Structure 1
Amino acid sequence: MARENKRRASGRRSPLAAVVLIGVGLLMTGGIYAGASAAVASTDTSTTKTALTVDDGKKLFQANCATCHGMDLQGTANGPSLFGVGELSVEFQVATGRMPLAMQGPQAPQKPVQFTEDQIRAMAAYVQSVSPGPTYPDQQTLDGKGDVATGAEIFRTNCAMCHNVAGAGGALTEGKYAPALDKTSALHMYAAMVTGPQNMPVFSDLNLNLEQKRDIISYLLYLQQHESAGGFALGSLGPVAEGLFIWIFGIGSLIGVTVWITAKSN
């Protein structure tokens, strides 16, 4: 009888085994549920998402843009005509938040975007249908696989005087400025070169051909994806920022040490 009780005692499971089994079961159930939910959500998104039409773009334009640009894109006293600007210019201006313009000024600042991507594309398609102009490039132009070294050379020659050699931007005259390019998308880099927004000149294929534009985009994307090899970039603003840093921290530290030594000697 004693032997039988001993065998039963030795074959008894640990009290933690049930807890472990329940935990494993819950994790497996939760993982399966999460995977199924994600699959259903992606399916619903793909089936319910509808592209807006040109007519939808016309309604959006007339409700949000016609006050300044006219019901038929002819322009008004408050805004220029949009004849010939093309869908690429509309996408750039609206997708960066520059338009709709809150108030007149030296330059339209970037603001939070007020429309969805579908709405922006629909308005751009409407403008393109009324008066065609520059349109979207092919994906190869935006792939970032051009010649980075050549792009850097072209950028320094044609763009660095305003945007800084590292694309950090810079001040212009009368309250205008060249924006920083550290977060600009490849499409908007191309759009800026082709449409010449605000103070920027238009770079046609006679100035910079498609391959050269691709090289510039590749260079700027390279800068975005790689940290400065020289350490802390100080905004990539060049010798002015570096000199200011030395004066404030370098000379300031020397003065502080000198005062400390003098106080100790006294």
Structure 2
Amino acid sequence: MLVKARLSYRADFLVQVGSDLLLQAVDLAFLAVVFSRVKALAGWSFGEALFIYGFFLIPFALFNASFAALSDVGDRYVVRGELDRVLTRPLGSLLQIQLELLRPQALNGVVLGLVVLATASVRLGFAWSALSVLMAVLGVLGAWLVYGGLWVAVASTSFWTQERGIGVFPVFYNTINFSRYPLTLYPAALRFVLTFVLPYAFIAFYPAAGILRAQYMLFGWLTLPVGLVVFGVGLLIWHQGLARYEGAGS
């Protein structure tokens, strides 16, 4: 029903798809311009940086389709009280909210990501094996769970603040931009934060680098366990916050 509703406004749907593709094209053009000036950045070639960016696009598209709209939890569900309606149903509250806020138009990034990955693989002369395909699939799943866990945790703060919380989400969303590029480009302090505090390094760099370079393989395999832990923490915070919800009535 949600997909039918979205497609009933085809022009709006196509404009959103087109705008997403345009933004991603700008990022790709930026990479091309940078590497037209230099042969490598922090030891990473254009083909490798393109590979990391292509990998990034896939879980990022899944995140935008399934979790990104949780930024509406504070305004729509807590402040306006729509969570009361959700809680009268037997299905889990978080899953219901996700299904109501799905953005299927964002899935175009999966196709673009696969195209960019294929292009980068040809440029690098990289031959995919069964093991590297398995690492990529598990890495995408783990990266999606990292996104989801962090976003659920941030959305859960609305239960305590009882505010729209829109000022918090842009900070976390814009921080995602650091995961588009090789981690070694950044200072040591930022690398530590992106690995152990806000583990965005597991969104693209570690799984992609683990496929390309043996020294990162362990981190690549750790992407799924890290994602499971982060998502588990996010669910725990959600349920703790849900227990504090008192409804929209006075």
Please indicate, yes or no, whether the TM-score normalized by the shorter chain is above 0.5: no
User: Given the two structures, how large is their TM-score scaled by the length of structure 2?
Assistant: 0.31
User: Given the two structures, how large is their TM-score scaled by the length of structure 1?
Assistant: 0.30
Q: Name the larger-Rg structure.
A: 1
Which structure's residues are more often helix, by fraction?
A: 2
